[in-house]
Amino acid sequence: MAGRTDRTTDPQLLASLLLARRGQAYFSRTLNELRNDELDAPSLVPGWTRRHVVAHVGLNARALTRLTEWAATGVETPMYASREERDAEIEYGATLPARALRNLSAHAAVHLNVEWRDLSDEAWRAQVRTAQGRVVPASETVWMRTREVWVHAVDLDNGASFRHFPAELVDGLLADVTRTWRARGDAGGVVVPVLEPTDRAALTDDPASGDDVPRTHLRGRAADLARWATGRGGAHLLTTTDGTPVPAPPRWL
């Protein structure tokens, strides 16, 4: 019997789905390399153990599945009832036995993938609301999941690296971060990423900004800039054009 495939035939969406699925495989492989007792160690997320990261990634898949069900049925199904509920679920999930925690991560990812596979093109265009209150097409759930699985694989602090990321993912992360900074108005002195063919990148002046805010010009490998910009360290891998210390980045998510 032939396997079922995605209902959508949109090439851009199919490429995005592939990147998300590659990210899930990367996260799962990184998790599987950890022994059960190693899950108790700290992650790269302040205040979280590796258990918290695994619980969060699994519960994120469940939350995004609720959005895909909303898109498919038209029945409003929020990601979470509240921020407090989300945080409580993560805290509880982190207490699960290791086997149950791994099953949560794996089964939630499969469920989300099945929901994605069965969405019609019309459903992909349906409007849903994120936990931050943004109204977006259901197709946005693919990027939301993509950044979760790739970046949180690094947060497991078990050898995953931004330098392993595909170039299109690094570009997408830099664009996402700077777009978020600008939307909140707290980019400060760091603005639009300028990518160069040499796999170098620079965060430089935004010519459209039209203000007199002093700018910090950062240079380094694109992957290292994405690591720094998402709050995962790496300042020592970057330089500033005027020789000043690399600043701490504004908050991303």
Which CATH number do you get for residue 225?
Answer: 3.30.1050
The answer to the question of residue 245 being in a domain is: no
Report the alpha-carbon distance of residue 159 to residue 182 in Å, rounded.
31
Regions of the chain where pLDDT drops below 50: 1-2, 191-198, 205-210
Q: Which domain holds residue 222?
A: 167-206+215-240
Q: Is residue 253 part of a domain?
A: no
Tell me, what's the pLDDT at 185?
74
What pLDDT sits at residue 188? 53
pLDDT computed for residue 241 by the predictor: 79
User: What does the pLDDT read at residue 182?
Assistant: 79
CA angle 183, 130, 8 (to 5 degrees): 110
Task: Say whether both 50 and 151 belong to one domain.
Answer: yes
Helix axes 167-184, 11-32, angle to 10 degrees: 100
pLDDT of residue 197: 37
Both 149 and 188 in one domain: the answer is no
State residue 207's pLDDT score.
Answer: 43
Residue 245 burial by CB count (10 A; 0-12/13-18/19+): exposed, middle or buried? exposed
Model pTM above 0.75 = yes
> Does 28 map to a domain?
yes
pLDDT at 203: 57
* pLDDT score, position 150: 98
Q: With 0-12 CB in 10 A as exposed, 13-18 as middle and 19+ as buried, what is 67?
A: buried
The pLDDT value recorded for residue 202 is 54
Domain-embedded: residue 183: yes
What does the pLDDT read at residue 77? Answer: 96
CATH code of residue 122: 1.20.120.450
Q: What is the pLDDT of residue 17?
A: 98
- Supply the pLDDT for residue 190: 52
Q: Do 21 and 69 sit in the same domain of this protein?
A: yes
- Any domain includes 74: yes
